[in-house]
Structure 1
Amino acid sequence: MAQSLYFPLLFIALCSISECVQRQYYFINEGKYWIEAQRYCREKYTDLATVDNMNDMIELNKSVEVNYEAVWIGLQGTNVSNWHWSSGDPVLFLNWASGQPYSGDNCTVIKNGQWSVGACTATWTFICYNMSTGLVFVNMNMTWRDAQSYCRQNHIDLVSVRNQNENQQLEKFINDSQTFGSSVWIGLFRDSWQWSDQSNSSFRYWRTGEPRSQTNNHRAAVEQTSQGQWSIYMYNIEKNRLPFVCHEDKLIVIQQNLSWSEALRYCRQNHVDLVSVQSEEMQYKVMNVVKLASTEAVWLGLRHSCALGIWFWVCGETVCYQNWAPGNGTSEEDCEPTVRSGSVQSGGDQTWISRPETHKLNFICRNY
């Protein structure tokens, strides 16, 4: 039923998965309106709970230690629709066919290399991705939501496409899977939901039949009766005074302009350390917070050793996962007149760039 192919541009083998940092969740067993819960979380922690993936969802559910009908999380309806990848990848590339997207449909198929919107309730074959095997063609007709669930349960998620090269390789893979000319689901979808902390997270965990509507009067809540899946509730009616879950970010942007050594000292004195980015998942978390920076680049816990000619993380790990901008991150860095350290761009593709450690930049600390 399923065929797979290694896809090197989409899947980066990791030599270390020791750091898979999640948010810290806190269940507050007090009934409040959503707005009141949001205010409480922002005063005591970071914000109402944001969820990036199923691991986060599992941790959130673990934090709730009492029986409940529903608890507020930080997802709120808006009047503006945006495109997202199911996997949480940033939307950096679109390849719409002529005249697309032409309707109010909210899910995306690829056909002959070009994308079109389709009704999410239509049934098509689909492409999952898997960190071990790469692309996986699933020769079963499912709705977009069912295809998403299948990919998340059996692989990682529906496939994301980040540039033209990946789109061409995906088209070739589909043609090799003997589905030329057929429509195939990919992971791009559109909705009008936004997280309270303005996170880019595109993770959704709606129960069957939800969301019934998407307006700015609605908020998302986790329901125990639906195995922790989400339903929509009116945020300001008396019966919807619910307990809620806050989160505390494990990454924080410090909007002070310090040298790399000063930033390292600050993080170790006030938090835990400068952030180490040892996986693609952590890179996405960095991308979510770095937009808050006021400098064009932001220090990471990344350092170059002139003696050894290598880059390393201050947590003691060697650099395995890499996201360097072209021309950066070589082993033969110029150590004169000062040592080089690693930073992440706060705009653009948010890739890593090498800078003299004396430059004054914002920086990212980790709290755990």
Structure 2
Amino acid sequence: MLLNSKSIYLLFISGFCVLSLGSSEFHLINMTKSYADAKSYCREIHTDLATIHNFSEMNELINLVSDNTARAWIGLEIADKRTWHWSLPAHPLDFTNWKEGTPQGNDQDACAAMDENGKWFENDCNTKRSFVCHSDGGSHIYVADSESWRNAQNYCRSLSTDLVSILSAEENAVVSNMSQNVWVGLFKDPWKWSDGSNSSFRYWANYQPNYLEGQDCVTAIFKNSGKWNDVKCPGKKKFICQGANKELTTLQTTTQGSTKVTYLSTRYNITSEGIIVTFHFTLDKNSTNVSSTAGPTTEGTSASSSTSQPVTLAPHSNAPGNLVLIQQNLTWVEAIAYCRRNYIDLIHISTEDIQMKVAEKVKNATTPHVWIGLKYTCGSKIWFWTESSSGCYQNWAPQQGHEGTYSCGVTGAIQATGRQQWVGLPQSEKLNFLCYACTG
């Protein structure tokens, strides 16, 4: 089913600054929120607040976040009790060799060392002692210099490794034979990740965390090489989400006069271009004169705003104006954001004449398909143009369109060669795309 202008009404809503960090995982959100609100936003739009698993991921954030961002929330928060972890996040604590009477079970930060008998004991992390760095091949590195546990950890990380993890009795004997009273990579702290990850990676600034009252959440301080600091959770700061963008689709029923009108609302958070796009259209064909009452969204919500004037795009004429082929490979959502930022929109094809002009233009594409402004909604199983258009022209390839079976997240493209018909493709694919601009 392809909806026409009598059943589709579109709102294009923008106004947020949301920066993609060049990764499918991390997104710096240039809005300020409390920790709780930032977590809710990330879970709604992406997956969760950022979890950092290793120094490589931390380096990615450090290198990609602008110097203008002093600090941002990450997904580390206080837990109910302290837990022992290996400094290398991937290593489980399946094997232990504690000295009798340890660990003590107190609710304080602590680090583990190995005595002359190969037994582990709990110790103040600021005590200075020699240490052993980990090697996956079993040839662990003994360092005779006396350092605090954290300085020892930093030294091992400078060698692209970490403090040693001991995963078996055999490995414990190897480390025990290297020296006596050395730091190993076991530590205890009260922190947990918002997404439930068991990552034990930590990157604290000097003298942090200091556990002052109420400082139960964590920011990365990018003006201090991304080092972490525990702070009070209600403070409003920028934040880092992880995970791909979610497509949020809801059905809403409103009453206009004596008529009930059902709307389908689909929202995208377009991180690469700093905007949020919401499509609203009616599913009731009798409602041909519906006007929108929603304005630009605020603080990442899709609710209507009474403080802003409605923004409704009327159907444009069949003439597409200037067709602009963009030979960049972007996802469909990134492509529509690009077109709306630089031109008018992704092309929609409402007549055979437009189809012929589009077909000629896309011959120069560098990808086998080219994005056009068609969107499939899996809830209602319908195709629609992102901007209203008159006419019912269709040019689907065989087994596509109303004959096709699609999953969620499918959008429309045109074949660059051959019969140049329309197909449905996963919106995450990266293709050339066709914008249109005003004539002249």
What TM-score does the superposition give when structure 1 sets the normalisation length? 0.57
Distance 1:94 1:133 in 2: 18
* Partners of 2:48 and 2:214 in 1: CA distance: 18
Q: Classify the secondary structure of the residue corresponding to 1:134.
A: coil
Deviations 1:202-251 (A, max 9, x none): 00000001000177751110112211100111001xxx21010001179x
CA distance in 2, matches of 1:248, 1:242: 20
Equivalent-residue separation in structure 1 for 2:42 and 2:150 (angstroms): 31
Q: Distance in 2 between matches of 1:212 and 1:99?
A: 28
3-state SS, counterpart of residue 157 of structure 1: coil
Q: Which residue of 2 is the match for residue 109 of structure 1?
A: 113
Is residue 183 of structure 1 aligned with residue 188 of structure 2? no
Number of the residue aligned with 1:244: 239
The answer as to 2:145 corresponding to 1:140 is: yes
Give the Cα–Cα distance (whole angstroms) in 1 for the partners of residues 42 and 160 of structure 2: 34
Residues 155-210 of structure 1 show CA distances to partners (whole Å, capped at 9, x for unaligned) of: 400000112222122223x2xxxx3xx31000000000000001000000000010
Contact 2:111 2:122 (8 Å CA) reproduced: yes
Q: How does 1:268-347 map to 2 (within 5 A)?
A: none
Read off the aligned partner of 1:229 and give its amino acid letter: K
Q: 2:145 and 2:200 mapped to 1: Cα distance?
A: 25
For residue 42 of structure 2, give the secondary structure of its aligned residue in structure 1.
Answer: helix
- What's 2:324 paired with? none
Shift of 1:132: 6.6
Moved more, 135-144 or 23-32: 23-32
> Counterparts of 2:86 and 2:203 in 1: how far apart (Å)?
14
SS in 1 for 2:134: strand
1:63 is displaced (CA, Å) by 3.9
How many residues align? The count is 221
User: Do the aligned partners of 2:220 and 2:227 also contact (CA within 8 Å) in 1?
Assistant: yes
Distance in 1 separating the partners of 2:78 and 2:140: 33
Q: In the alignment, is residue 151 of structure 1 matched against residue 146 of structure 2?
A: no
The reply to whether residue 98 of structure 1 matches residue 93 of structure 2 is no
Deviation at 1:70, TM superposition (A): 1.1
- Which residue number corresponds to residue 199 of structure 1? 197
Per the alignment, residue 85 of structure 2 pairs with: 84
Q: Which residue of 2 aligns with 1:232?
A: 230
- 1:147–1:124 Cα change, 3 Å: same
Q: Distance in 2 between matches of 1:232 and 1:208?
A: 12
Q: Which runs of 5+ in 2 are unaligned?
A: 1-22, 246-428, 431-440
- Amino acid of the residue matched to residue 125 of structure 1? S
Secondary structure in structure 1 of the residue aligned to 2:201: coil
Q: CA deviation at 1:51?
A: 0.2
User: 1:302 maps to what in 2?
Assistant: none
1:5-52 per-position Cα deviation (integer Å, ceiling 9, x unaligned): xxxxxxxxxxxxxxxxx8711110000000011011111111000000
Write the distance in 2 (CA, Å) between the matches of 1:29 and 1:61: 16
* 1:228 partner letter: G
Name 1:360's counterpart in structure 2.
none
Structure 1 position 31 matched with structure 2 position 26:
no
Aligned-CA RMSD value: 2.3
Partner of 2:218: 220
Say if 2:133 and 2:163, in contact at 8 Å, map to a contact too.
yes
Deviations 1:242-270 (A, max 9, x none): 010001179xxxxxxxxxxxxxxxxxxxx
Conserved? CA contact 1:25–1:63, under 8 Å:
no
Tell me the amino acid that sits aligned with residue 64 of structure 1.
V
Q: Percent identity?
A: 35
Distance across 2 between alignment mates of 1:110 and 1:227: 32
**1:49 corresponding residue in structure 2:** 50
Q: How far apart, CA to CA, are the structure 2 residues paired with 1:140 and 1:146?
A: 11
Other structure's SS at 2:205 match: coil
Runs of 4+ in 1 over 4 A off after TM superposition: 214-217
Give the Cα–Cα distance (whole angstroms) in 2 for the partners of residues 60 and 36 of structure 1: 21
Aligned to 1:61: 62
Shift of the 53–23 alpha-carbon distance from structure 1 to 2, 3 Å rule, reads farther
Query: Could you say what secondary structure the match of 1:92 adopts?
Result: coil
Conservation of the 8 A alpha-carbon contact between 1:47 and 1:248: yes
Q: Residues of 1 paired with 2:188 and 2:160: CA distance?
A: 22
d(CA) in 2 for partners of 1:48, 1:155: 26
Contact 2:77 2:218 in 1 (8 A): yes
Contact 1:73 1:221 in 2 (8 A): yes
Contact 1:128-1:155 at 8 Å conserved across structures: no
Q: Partners of 1:85 and 1:138 in 2: how far apart?
A: 19
Matched residue type, 1:90: P
User: Structure 1 pair 216/134, CA: closer, same or farther in 2 (3 Å)?
Assistant: farther
Output one character per residue of 1:112-170: Cα deviation in whole Å (capped at 9) or x when no partner. Answer: 21000110000000000235782000000000000000000024000001122221222
Number of the residue aligned with 2:165: 160
Task: Find the aligned partners of 1:146 and 1:210 in 2 and give their Cα distance.
Answer: 13
- Asked if 1 retains the 8 angstrom alpha-carbon contact of 2:131 and 2:182, the reply is yes
Structure whose CA Rg is larger:
2
SS of alignment partner, residue 147 of structure 1: helix
Residue 27 of structure 1 aligns to a residue in which SS? strand
Match of 2:176 in 1: 171
| Separation in structure 2 between the aligned mates of residue 245 and residue 212 of structure 1, nearest angstrom | 23
